[in-house]
């Protein structure tokens, strides 16, 4: 799995980078694990990267407020989605 990550605030081209991360394992009861097929970086993401949007995240932080993908696993309490849902 990959994440877009940043560990300081500034220009996106200077502070954002892509990293390979381990599979997070099975989801907790109310979580859903989604294999992301595409992720948009919108103006809110860019403002967050520069430290100008809402409450600043703890660093390092990840980006991506919008994504499309397929459900890979559901927690035990999730009853409105199922594995394979797009």
Q: Report pLDDT for 80.
A: 94
On whether residue 51 sits in a domain, the answer given is yes
On whether residue 63 sits in a domain, the answer given is yes
Looking at the structure of the chain, the number of domains it has is: 1
12 backbone dihedrals φ, ψ, rounded to 5°: -50, -40
Q: Is residue 28 pLDDT above 90, yes or no?
A: yes
Q: Please state the pTM of the whole predicted model.
A: 0.71
Contact 34, 24 (CB under 8 A): no
- In the chain, the percentage of residues whose pLDDT exceeds 90 is 65
Please indicate whether residue 23 or residue 61 has the higher confidence score (pLDDT). Answer: 61
On whether residue 66 sits in a domain, the answer given is yes
CATH code (residue 21): 3.90.180.10
Domain that residue 25 falls in? 2-74
Q: Which residues contact 63 (CB under 8 A, 6 or more apart)?
A: 3, 4, 5, 6, 16, 39, 41, 45, 48, 49
């Amino acid at each position: 799995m990959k994440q877009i990550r940043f560990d300081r605030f500034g220009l996106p081209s200077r502070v954002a980078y892509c990293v390979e991360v381990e599979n997070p394992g099975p989801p907790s009861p109310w979580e859903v694990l989604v294999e992301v097929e595409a992720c948009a970086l919108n103006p809110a993401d860019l403002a967050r990267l520069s430290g100008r949007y809402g409450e600043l995240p703890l660093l390092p932080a990840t980006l991506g407020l919008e994504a499309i993908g397929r459900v890979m696993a559901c927690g035990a309490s999730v009853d409105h989605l199922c594995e394979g849902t797009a």
